Structure 1
Amino acid sequence: MSAAGIADPDMQPPVHDRLLEVAGISIDRMPMLRVVFDRLATSCADALRPLSPSPILLSMEGVETGRIGDVLSAYQRGAVAAVLYASEWDTRILVGLDRDCTNAILEALFGGDGTEPQDPEDRAFTTIEMKVAQLVFEHVAAALAACFASVGEAPFKIERVETRLDFAVIGRRNNPAVVTRIAMQAHERGGDMFIVIPQSALTPMRQNLARVLSGDVSPSDPRWTRQIHSEVARTEVRLRAILEEREMTLGEVAELRAGMILPLEATPRTRVRLECADQPLFWCELGRSDSVYTLRVEDFIDKNEDVIDDLVSG
């Protein structure tokens, strides 16, 4: 065979890669995609939190496959989108905000309370709205680079921002793509952020996307964690101290009357069981201080030991 008849592997992708591109990508076989976009929603919410006096919540609603043209048609009216270029992937992706999303973000950033009437969908975006959208797209571009770093490192650069999705071209309209929808809510308002990535960009990373890396969880916000700990520590709970329990028949219970005395076998040295929500917590010693009964915690209650004692006594 002549040298001209030998295919150069550097000039074209392997055959199985081209077959995968034709067949499309199975989202179920790439669980890391959901992890990446879930982390993206958390990262964007953290980035917007210092800018708004009221919380802006973002949550990943789902990841699916579709045609680029179908996605653009669904958001044709009242959406603003940015075309991002990933130089390492040599691919362009689309990040968009529908009008409800931009309105909710704008109202939250400027201290609104969600009571303003909705704007008509056919009006043009104002200069302020475009600047706010540009700010959001910058945060999304940075978050995308950070969240994809574990599977396919690439910086994302904003090429342009469009309000007509016909001009937001990232490939042929019938090309397959992965579409992610992230729900945004501020006050009582909310909208959608959508991200469109051509499947051809993800095919080389399919092996990394097919396995969930250990420790790949949504990054936690230290301030939010401290606030949760503080609120949990301030929660009021009801404790119950049990000195002794005894079994009675239903007939004996029916004969109980006011003023009757029930003898107890417990003594001042008997340990008291401290419970919360029917869960045993501590063994305590009963005492008195200033004419008030007190409990001194002696030890934790070992549930396994209680089970063994019940089996032995039974």
Structure 2
Amino acid sequence: MNSLGVTPGSPAALRNLLVERLIGDTAEPDKVTAAARALGERALPPIAKALSQLVPSLLQIELESVELGRISQVFLTESDNEPLTVAPSTNSPDALILSMDAAAVSLFTGLLFGAASDASLAPIERPLSAIELDIGGMVFQGIAEALNGSGARALNVRFPLPRPIAGEDRRKQVHRDGPSARLIFRIFNEGGSGLFCVTMPQRIVLSTRGVDDAGQAGSGEWQARLGGEVMRSKVAVEATVSMGTLTLGQVASLFEGQVLEMPAEAPGETRLSSKDKTLFICEFGRLGGHYTVRVKQPFDPEADLMNNLVPH
């Protein structure tokens, strides 16, 4: 299991990874943006209530913007003072990725330690202390509980959340990539303001049914049917093996029925691909009178790149 409590090689995780790799983004950008904005606006009152119970001072909150991007972009920051935590749920290892900027950390820390609501607080320009990370964790916990919801819209987030990370610990995190929606909230009072962000996989955003519920009435059955049709659709797969090199003249002189001898050092591994995308690393074998391809492991583009860069 990884740090999120999810088995990376589980059938569900592999299925989600393969579908995203083959199909790409979860849905149309306009539809995802509308769902994310509706979710953010619906979450404003419970988030404000959660923060009011945490911070003994009046704080205003507003949804500043919604941005579409990739999950991997959330971890790329040169700053050492912006905490982040990943909240897993029962159906996603990264249902919520919560982060805030240095100004928000300064604002929450000052208010929790008794600063006046109109006190001007400078953003933190150094690596965060253990206390500041703990404060970030308290804020993230309250925001996640507010966003979690209940009933059909519940995200089923697993609590308590992991302790926030920042700086190099944040940058070196390795998480699966995929299309995301980022909700950017601004918190402010008379003394200053800061930003905190909630990043979610697009499929999680759509599962909350953030678009006009009246227009979505009765759509659940159709979504289930369409989802089943997608999973039953036929996808051509190819397994190839490298045989070595030939000169252009040798290739030009090939003829029907010619047998090409494979060198003794020919690799036994093959890559299983579909739609020009490599999915698995496999190995050739035989079962009775039939040739077989045995799946060894999912294809890892980053590991493959490193193997090609490092000479053997």
Aligned length: 200
Shift of 1:63: 1.6
Q: Which residue is equivalent to 1:85?
A: 88
Mapping of 1:73-112 within 5 angstroms?
73-74=76-77, 76-109=79-112, 110-112=114-116
Q: Which residue is equivalent to 1:213?
A: 213
Structure number with larger C-alpha Rg: 1
Q: Which residue is equivalent to 1:28?
A: 30
Residues 179-206 of structure 1 deviation map (CA, whole Å, 9 limit, x = unaligned): 111111132311111112233x43xx73
Residues 28-65 of structure 1 deviation map (CA, whole Å, 9 limit, x = unaligned): 21433222222323212111213434211111112221
Q: Which residue is equivalent to 1:166?
A: 171
Matched residues, percent identical?
A: 18
* 1:197 corresponds to 2:206: no
* 1:59 corresponds to 2:62: yes
**Aligned in 2, Cα 1:192/1:75: closer, same or farther, shift over 3 Å?**
farther
CA distance, structure 1, for counterparts of residue 73 and residue 190 of structure 2 = 30
CA distance, structure 1, for counterparts of residue 148 and residue 96 of structure 2 = 12
- Residues 107, 114 of structure 1: 8 Å contact kept: no
Q: Which residue is equivalent to 1:118?
A: 122
Q: Which residue is equivalent to 2:295?
A: none
- Residues 145, 156 of structure 1: 8 Å contact kept: no
- Structure 1 residue matching 2:83: 3-state secondary structure: strand
- Residues 65, 184 of structure 2: 8 Å contact kept: yes
- Structure 2 residue matching 1:156: 3-state secondary structure: coil
Moved over 4 A (4+): 10-14, 17-21
Letter in 2 for 1:22: G
Q: Which residue is equivalent to 1:135?
A: 138
Normalized against structure 2, the TM-score is what?
Answer: 0.54
Letter in 1 for 2:115: G
Structure 1: state its 5+ residue gaps. Answer: 1-9, 215-314
Residues 141-198 of structure 1 deviation map (CA, whole Å, 9 limit, x = unaligned): 2112117x443542233133201321444423xx321111111113231111111223
- Structure 1 residue matching 2:122: 3-state secondary structure: coil
Letter in 2 for 1:111: A
- Residues 184, 192 of structure 1: 8 Å contact kept: yes
CA distance, structure 1, for counterparts of residue 76 and residue 40 of structure 2 = 23
Structure 2: state its 5+ residue gaps. Answer: 1-11, 215-312
Normalized against structure 1, the TM-score is what?
Answer: 0.53
- Residues 106, 121 of structure 2: 8 Å contact kept: no
Shift of 1:21: 4.4
**Aligned in 2, Cα 1:12/1:115: closer, same or farther, shift over 3 Å?**
closer
